[in-house]
Amino acid sequence: MTQSALAQLDDSLRATRQSFDSIPVVDVAPLLDGSDKMKVAKEIRWALANAGFMYVQNHGVAAEKLDNAFTQTKAFFDLPLEEKMKLHVSKSGTALRGYIEMFGENTDPTKTKDLKECFDLGPETPGDTTPFFGANQWPADLPEFRAAIYGYHEDMKQLSGSLLRGIALSLDLDERFFEPKMQNPISIQRLLHYPPQTGKIDESVMGIGAHTDYGNLTILAQDDVGGLQVMNRDGDWVQGPPIPGMFVINIGDLVQRLTNDVYLANLHRVVNTSGRERYSIPFFIDADYDADFAPLPSCVTPENPAKYEAVTCGKHKFGRFLESFPHLAAR
């Protein structure tokens, strides 16, 4: 399905939600320390059913690690284009790791060209030819880059495991529900740079066009610039400004399918009109390539009959990449 068709589908889906004018904040400390998991699960349920997004507070990731990751992110994008192009994503085959230049990936390709450049990495599994696995491409002249960014990726994997336990509880499932599906999960650690835009801005070019994320869960760290926008029930774009010390979390298509639309993989985009360079660091966690996602029996009722066929994580995700990467579509 194209993004525009998805967006239309989302209009009717969103209409059934409660409205919001800011992304809800969830303090996850009682989930992480085990003192009141169900309190957090209840807050997660409201946030993911109505916004598909939440800020998480008290997530336990050290500020210093985040600062280092941002320092290395800026250093990477400051490299000459020629150096970055040596690591181009097309050189990694279906591992899909490396550098993506401005307009090299468009998330709403029928409407919007994305004014962003990216760098993607994932679990270091050389020789594995499964899509989304394999070797990373590392910049040669940034000595601290690899440890800072790969270390951050490891922290994100751990935090995502805790958050997915909270999400499982919020659906009245065993807290370990996701684990059998995530023995060797696809994950993408992305670095992003958005130059500022001036003048009249329309949908033809923006930081990142309207899209839903493809997998299970996204953990986004933003710098202090802002520009993330999330659609609410009324079709208005709600700002998701950076809040110091908090991540923005959202669910992707797979959790929407799993919950038979009880939880919403919501549309979002980035428009950077701040006059400053914006950097962000999203982490995407999915599931094993072959893990099946079909509506949970508990989310199927006579009023909400099953809307989705089972799909495997890897096929779904690769299909979405084919839509947005011109270099893959040409293969």
Ligand X SMILES: O=C(O)CCC(=O)C(=O)O
Q: Which residues make up the interface to ligand X (CB under 6 A)?
A: 190, 192, 208, 213, 220, 222, 228, 268, 270, 280, 282
The token pair at 202 is 């329309």
We find the least distance from the C-beta atom of residue 16 to Fe ion, in angstroms, to be 22
28: buried, middle or exposed (CB in 10 Å: 19+, 13-18, 0-12)? Answer: buried
Residue 228 binding result from Fe ion, ligand X, none, given CB thresholds of 5 to 8 Å by partner type = ligand X
Which one of ligand X, Fe ion, none interacts with residue 225, CB within 5 to 8 A by kind? none
Q: Rounded to an integer, what distance in angstroms lies between the CA atom of residue 69 and that of residue 203?
A: 30
114 binds Fe ion (CB under 5 A): no
Residues composing the chain = 331
Cα four-point dihedral sign 112, 114, 120, 122: negative
Smaller CB distance to Fe ion: residue 97 or 211? 211
* Residue 287 interacting partner from Fe ion, ligand X, none (CB closer than 5 to 8 Å by kind): none
DSSP string for residues in 196-258: ---SS--TTEESEEEE--SSSEEEEEE-SS--EEEE-TTSPEEE----TT-EEEEE-HHHHHH
To ligand X, the closest distance from the beta carbon of 242 in angstroms equals: 9
> Which single residue brings its beta carbon nearest to ligand X?
280
How far apart, in whole angstroms, are the C-alpha atoms of residue 96 and residue 136? Answer: 9
- Comparing CB distances to ligand X, the nearer of 190 and 316 is 190
Binding partner of 313, given ligand X, Fe ion, none, CB within 5-8 angstroms per partner class: none
CB 272 within 8 A of CB 225: yes
- Minimum separation from the CB atom of position 203 to Fe ion (A): 16
Q: Using CB under 5 A, pick the residue from 120, 213, 286, 323 that binds Fe ion.
A: 213
- For ligand X, the closer of residues 170 and 280 by Cβ is 280
Task: List contacts with Fe ion (CB under 5 A).
Answer: 213
